[in-house]
A = this chain, B = another copy of it.
Amino acid sequence: MCRWMAWSGQPLPVDELLFKTQHGLVDQSLHSNLGPTTTNGDGFGLGWYGFPRGPALYRSVSPAWSDPNLARLAPHLESPLFLAHVRASTGTDVQETNCHPFQHGRWFFVHNGHIAEFDRLRRDLVLAVAPELFPEIAGSTDSEVMFFLALTFGLESDPVGALERTIGLVEQTARDHGVDRAVQASIGVSDGETVWAVRHSTEHRSRSLFVSADAHALRRLHPDNPRLQKLQDGDRLVVSEPFSDLPGAWHEIPEASVLTVHPGGGLDVADFRPS
């Protein structure tokens, strides 16, 4: 059920983290360790912020491991902030419009998880999307609807509050329909400067989510690791599952919380309370 990652820090060619890293995201598309499915072969997406031209999107239904364009583009796309996602469909079609990230203006959204019995809830949830946003819905996934609900509820001015209201609405709608364990979610959102990462599930057993440790600490902890020595202060990586098992390299984001990665690498963790 999907894996994703977000980078915020020094400008990097995206292949550094997609292809060149041990157990990077493309490797996870073939054999994920922590996810409920080992294969994430139902599409790939990359949203990045370029200079000088702002947000850009590449998505493909080809599995990430075999897409020749992705392999060829990745060394040429350099960005200080990007989100990437490999998809394992929970039932909806494998089509480009169902691939993450979803984009609206400067905003990207990725999701790992699902809404339980989405077919039964879909109509009510879609109706709650603001009419002016409705025409932008291009696919058929639960994730895209969650994104447009979050935009409806003020994502652009109050990201965390909007995500809480989104999950709150989904859970309330599920209760109204007698659906249990409505939401399973790790969510990544960015406006190009800040990254927000939510870990929440109705049953309190959420998909895994990790953030990399402070770059300064990492360099001191592993003086012989050439890759870590290249990290600069402020570099941060958020991942569904760690790229490596280096001691001290990763902090698990707690259940039912939201992580904010500020420009410059500062972190905040707060409770996530659907409302």
A contact residues vs B (CB 8 Å cutoff): 13, 30-31, 38-39, 41-42, 50, 53, 56-63, 65-66, 68-69, 72-73, 75-76, 89, 92-97, 119-120, 122-123, 126-127, 131, 134-135, 137-140
State the number of copies, please.
4
- Cβ contacts A to B, 6 pairs, < 8 Å: A31-B39, A42-B66, A60-B69, A68-B93, A68-B96, A120-B135
| Residues of chain B within 8 A of A73, CB atoms compared | 56, 58, 73
Contacts A122-B135, A127-B127 aside, 17 further interface pairs with beta carbons under 8 A come to: A30-B39, A38-B39, A39-B41, A41-B63, A56-B72, A56-B73, A56-B75, A68-B96, A69-B69, A93-B95, A93-B96, A93-B97, A93-B138, A95-B97, A97-B140, A138-B140, A139-B140
The smallest C-beta distance from A12 to any residue of chain B, in angstroms, reads: 13
Q: Inside 8 A of A66's CB, which chain B residues have their CB?
A: 41-42, 89, 94
- Inter-subunit contact A50/B76 (CB<8 Å): yes
Name the residue on B nearest A121 (C-beta): B135
* Complex Cα spacing A75 to B131, Å: 29
